[in-house]
């Protein structure tokens, strides 16, 4: 990843910190246009919104769909603190967003969280592989592994 992508991932991690400070799960996402400008950001609101679908990425997709056309979204990149789950990957696919970049992998997240009956281990790459439209995926970011993990420290236990 180049320095611009690293900084955009850091912004997504910062949004995750904000979500945690608000009492939510520590996940954040930012949407970037074709000129690498952040146009939207969203945090997880599962707890405060009392909505299990209030993941950072689905919240971002809802906002993005209201503000941008599918053609515009196809030129956008979604940067997220943690790999999108299967639900979020589906939302990203339906929104037409063209690219996803994530810091922490789903496998690494589940290692941090520990055993849970709520894990759905299905990578976003696998979800996208079953679609008719190619979505470029980059991640995890090894350079940001410690920063991406730090936002989760002490939250899940």
Catalytic residue positions, numbered: 57
CA distance 94 to 58: 11
Task: State the number of CA atoms in the 13 A half-sphere of 30 facing the CB.
Answer: 22
CA distance 106 to 87: 13
Ramachandran angles phi, psi of 144, nearest 5°:
-110, 15
Which tokens go with 130?
Answer: 């079953």
Q: Say if CB 31 and CB 60 are below 8 A apart.
A: yes
Residue closest to 151 by CA, chosen among 39, 29, 65: 29
Query: How far apart are the two ends of the chain, measured CA to CA in Å?
Result: 31
CA distance 123 to 71: 25
């Amino acid at each position: 990843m180049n320095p611009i992508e690293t900084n955009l991932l850091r912004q997504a991690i910062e949004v995750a910190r904000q979500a945690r400070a608000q009492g939510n799960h520590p996940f954040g996402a930012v949407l970037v246009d074709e000129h690498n400008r952040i146009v939207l950001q969203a945090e997880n609101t599962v707890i405060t919104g009392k909505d299990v679908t209030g993941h950072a990425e689905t919240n971002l997709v809802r906002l993005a769909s209201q503000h941008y056309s599918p053609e515009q979204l196809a030129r956008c990149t979604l940067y997220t603190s943690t790999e999108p789950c299967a639900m979020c990957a589906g939302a990203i696919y339906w929104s037409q967003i063209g690219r996803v970049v994530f810091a922490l992998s789903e496998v690494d997240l589940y290692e941090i969280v520990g055993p849970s009956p709520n894990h759905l281990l299905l990578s976003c790459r696998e979800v996208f592989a079953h679609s008719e439209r190619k979505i470029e995926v980059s991640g995890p970011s090894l350079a940001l592994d410690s920063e991406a993990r730090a936002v989760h420290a002490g939250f899940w236990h």
